[in-house]
């Protein structure tokens, strides 16, 4: 499948070691976004979390409700203890089924739903992590014609997660943090 030149969503997944990178990415985003950005981070399930505040800096990050419509000019964070899924009508669905790869939210589950709902108009990015959650989901985005990016394993604090994705397909782009930020800005900064 040929990759689209325009995209409608960016999904970023990460686990151990990904928070500093994710925070720097978010702080580089423009105040007005052309596409929604969805963050999926492994989180402890029964512990009060201020992850959204920690990541946001001066940006507003929303933990979406079930059936909430996805808006272009928004950053979303998967709520703890739920799989964050995206429906065909571009609304969120919160799923409480079993953990996948020991995780809920599971990056794979979110990426699968992004591939199904947005296909070739999606970008998936997989950052540092200590298991292989997200690898198969990132491949599903690529197989749907979207763009799959894995953080350069040598740069990641925990290389297992991005390396697992790279091992699945030569069509997954490998980028350093600065390259990922530049790539995201290409799609999120509104045209003048």
| Residue where the block lists tokens 């089924």 | 97
Active site residue 15: yes
Q: Which helix (H) or strand (E) holds 36?
A: none
- Alpha carbon distance 115, 111 (integer Å): 6
8, 42, 108, 110: which one is catalytic?
A: 42
8, 95, 108, 133: which one is catalytic?
A: 133
Active site residue 83: no
Contact 172, 150 (CB under 8 A): yes
8, 15, 110, 128: which one is catalytic?
A: 15
Dihedral Cα 25, 29, 35, 38, nearest 10 deg: 40
Task: Tell me the two tokens of residue 154.
Answer: 């040598």
- Alpha carbon distance 113, 85 (integer Å): 6
Active site residue 122: no
- Alpha carbon distance 57, 107 (integer Å): 23
| Residue where the block lists tokens 């990056």 | 107
Which of these, 88, 108, 122, lies nearest to 10 by C-alpha position? 122
Q: Which helix (H) or strand (E) holds 14?
A: strand 9-14
- Alpha carbon distance 183, 161 (integer Å): 20
Cite the active site residues: 15, 42, 133
């Amino acid at each position: 499948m040929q990759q689209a030149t325009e995209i409608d969503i960016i999904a970023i997944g990460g686990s151990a070691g990904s928070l500093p990178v994710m925070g720097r990415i978010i702080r580089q985003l423009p105040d007005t976004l052309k596409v929604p950005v969805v963050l999926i981070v492994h989180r402890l399930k029964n512990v009060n979390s201020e992850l959204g505040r920690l990541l946001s800096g001066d940006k507003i990050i929303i933990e979406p409700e079930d059936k909430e419509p996805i808006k272009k000019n928004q950053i979303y964070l998967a709520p703890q203890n739920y799989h964050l899924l995206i429906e065909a009508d571009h609304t969120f669905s919160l799923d409480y089924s079993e953990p996948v790869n020991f995780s809920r939210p599971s990056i794979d589950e979110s990426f699968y739903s992004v591939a199904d709902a947005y296909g070739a108009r999606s970008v998936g990015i997989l950052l540092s992590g200590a298991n292989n959650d997200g690898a198969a989901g990132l491949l599903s985005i690529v197989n749907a014609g979207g763009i799959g990016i894995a953080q350069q394993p040598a740069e990641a604090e925990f290389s297992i997660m991005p390396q697992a994705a790279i091992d699945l397909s030569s069509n997954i782009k490998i980028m350093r943090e600065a390259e990922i930020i530049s790539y995201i800005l290409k799609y999120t900064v509104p045209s003048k």
